[in-house]
Amino acid sequence: MTSLTLRLGTRPSKLALAQAQWVKQAIEQRARDVRVELVPIRTTGDRLTRGALSPLGGKGLFVRELEQALRDGKVDLSVHSMKDLPAVLAPDFRIVAVSAREDVRDAIVTTSGADLDSLPLKARLGTSSLRRKFIALRMRPDLEVITLRGNVDSRLAKLEAGQFDAIILAVAGLKRMANVGGAGLDRLVAADHLGQKKISAGRLSITPLDEHRFVPAAGQGALALEALADKPVCASHEIEALLSDLNDSAASIETTAERSFLASIGASCVSPVGVCARFKHGVLAVKAILFNREGSKAVEAQICAFADRAGFDPSAVGRELGQQLLANGGWELLGDG
């Protein structure tokens, strides 16, 4: 392979840059003659730091400028948190690779050591996600849920300043921040710590939430590499082969099923829905929960499929789960309110 530079688009937050740095190192370790240049691109979602995103277009606000940079030829590839991507990409884009998945769970973060069940009555809980809000209120109806925006550092700073009694963050983001020494989370670097029920990191107490009770967002914990659909990255089939080597088959199967489920029910980036797929020992198990717009009603569904059976297709599994959920009352919830 001749020497070349691959321009990798990324959001400019500390967490996004940490994720992009992981991709850069993974590529350069596999091909010594490829240099990866990180190109930070500030998205609309990065500029809008106050209020809920849902009235403005939801998580798609973190993707538009990165995709436009691909169209304009300013970058060759972009890296996203998979959960930020819409369930159906525009036809001129494709997902080149999906990283090995980090911990998919959400976590309650406090300075008091409390978990979700032991928070005081009417505690102030910070989150910008309707999914997280509605699941938390389902478990603790007394909580006062307050919109919390910003990057991981700023959210933790607001918690430590006493603006909230607890906040909810993705375990994957906390671990990736810990790996770059962010937000005083150095004690989280050892991945096996997160097998514990509670972890202390400085003044912070972090309690992962069971993924079966607190169903995560589609794609949570995975990174997606996105490129233009109609030509190879850097006009090089060797680069294409290199990038495909970064693809984790289990993560790809899981996230394909999750995204197919979202597409099958017509979910948008702001729909209050959770879905979690697990692919282990040749079995794909997927669970989903959907709320109405007010969070007052919910429908759940789950499905299992075996990879050794003829015609195994994670997309079809996701679609079947979506049809099951809609038949169980999901149609009414999507139109409720």
Task: Give the residue numbers annotated as catalytic, written as ranges.
Answer: 83-84, 131-132, 149, 155, 269
Q: Are 45 and 115 in contact (CB under 8 A)?
A: no
CA distances from 41 to 12, 123, 154, 234, 336 (A): 6, 37, 19, 19, 37
Q: Are 70 and 227 in contact (CB under 8 A)?
A: yes
Decide the pairing of beta strands 4-10 and 34-40: parallel
The distance between the two most distant Cα atoms of the chain, rounded to a whole number of Å, is 63
Cβ partners under 8 Å of residue 70, min gap 6:
9, 76, 77, 78, 93, 226, 227, 228
Residue type at position 19: Q
- Residue 234 Ramachandran class (φ > 0 left, ψ -120 to 50 alpha, else beta): left
